Amino acid sequence: MAGRAHDDAEGLIVRIDRGWSTVRIGDEEVRTMNVGADVAVGDVVVLDAGRERVASVRPRRTAIVRRASGEGHRALRDVVAANVDVVFVVQASDLPPNPRRTERELALALDSGAEVVLVANKCDLVGPAEREEVRRSLEESACGTPVLVASAATGEGMDAVRAACAGRTVALVGASGAGKSTMVNALVGDDVQRTGEVRTGDGRGRHTTVAAELVPMPGGGWLLDTPGLRAVALWLGAGGIERAFADVFALADGCRFRDCAHADEPGCAVRGAVERGDLDAARVASMRQLVREEQELEEAVRSAR
C-alpha cells in the first residue's frame, strides 16, 4: 500500500551538514539531500520514496530561531533547533555575570515556545559565596525562569539538571566554552560530543561544536547540542521579550501613554521605578534596545517582500 510506504519513511533530523541531513528512522540512519527544504535539527520529515530527499517537513511544535548574522542588512532567519521541549541556557559560573547577554539568551529561548531553564555550569570553579552571587545575578535577569547551579565536570547539581530533562528533548544553548557539550556527555554518561579548552585570559571558548546535533539519552529523551552563540540576535518575537522583561511590562501598564517608550514621556511608571531605585536603568535600556531591534527587523522583513 502506497500510504503505508510513506509512513515508513518518516524520520527525525539528528544532524545537518551543508545541505545534507542525517535522518533517523527507527534505529537506522540515512543521509538525505535538503535541496529546497527549509529544515533544522529536530525536524520530523517525510522522505521521498527513494529516501534521497526530504519531501516534506511536519509542522514544528517549537523552534529556536535567531536572526542570521548574514551579509549586509539582509534579514534572514536561522532555525537553530526544532521541536525541543526544554531549552537550557548554559553559562559559565567562573566568568563575570553578564546580565545583558543573559536577557538576550533568555528572550531567544522563551521565543521558541519551549520551557526554559537557566543553568550556571562550572560551579566547581568558584567558592560558595561566589556561587550564591552567580545564582542571585541570574535570578535577577530570570524573571521567574528556574535557575540551576551545577558542574558537568564534578557532577555536583547534575541530579537537578537531569530531573529537568525528564525524558524530553532538551536543547543546550549559550556562549562557546560554557560547557554545553561537556554537559551532554555528563548526562549521557559517555563522551559522545567533542569538547574544547577555553582560552586562557578571557575564558572564551573556541567554537568546538560546529553543527547542532541530537543525541539520544539512555533511558529516554534527546539532548540537542548546539554551536556556541556569538552575537545573540533575536528573530521576530513570539512574546520572548515580553516574558523576559515581564517586570518592566507590568510597570508599563501604569504609564500615562499606552505607547510610552519610557524615554522622556511624562507620567512614565517605568522611569518612576528607576528613579525610586526599584528597577535597574540598564535593564530598561536593554529591553528598549531589543524592542528597537525587533521593530527594525520587522521593517527589513516587510521591505524585502
Ligand X SMILES: Nc1nc2c(ncn2[C@@H]2O[C@H](COP(=O)(O)OP(=O)(O)OP(=O)(O)O)[C@@H](O)[C@H]2O)c(=O)[nH]1
| Contacting residues toward ligand X, per CB under 6 A | 121-122, 124-125, 151-153, 176-182, 195-198, 205-209, 227-228
> What are 11's strand-pairing partners?
45
How much of the chain is helix, strand and coil, in % rounded to 5? 30, 25, 45
Cβ distance to ligand X smaller for residue 57 or 233? 233
Does the footprint of Zn ion cover residue 270 (CB under 5 A)? yes
x/- letters, 227..256, toward Zn ion (CB under 5 A): ----------------------------x-
DSSP character for 216? E
Does the footprint of Mg ion cover residue 209 (CB under 5 A)? yes
Task: Indicate if the alpha-carbon torsion angle 123, 124, 128, 130 is positive or negative.
Answer: negative
132 SS3 class: helix
The type of residue at 304 is: A
Least distance in angstroms from the C-beta of 260 to Zn ion: 3
Residue 203 parent element (H or E): none
In the structure grid, which three cell numbers stand for residue 231, read together? 552575537
The one of Zn ion, Mg ion, ligand X, none whose footprint includes residue 260, by CB under 5 to 8 A per kind, is Zn ion
Least distance in angstroms from the C-beta of 42 to ligand X: 18
Nearest to 40 by CA among 27, 26, 58, 25: 58
Binding-site member from 164, 233, 238, 260 for Zn ion (CB under 5 A) = 260
Least distance in angstroms from the C-beta of 208 to Mg ion: 5
Where along the sequence are the contacts to Zn ion (CB under 5 A)?
Answer: 255, 260, 262, 268, 270
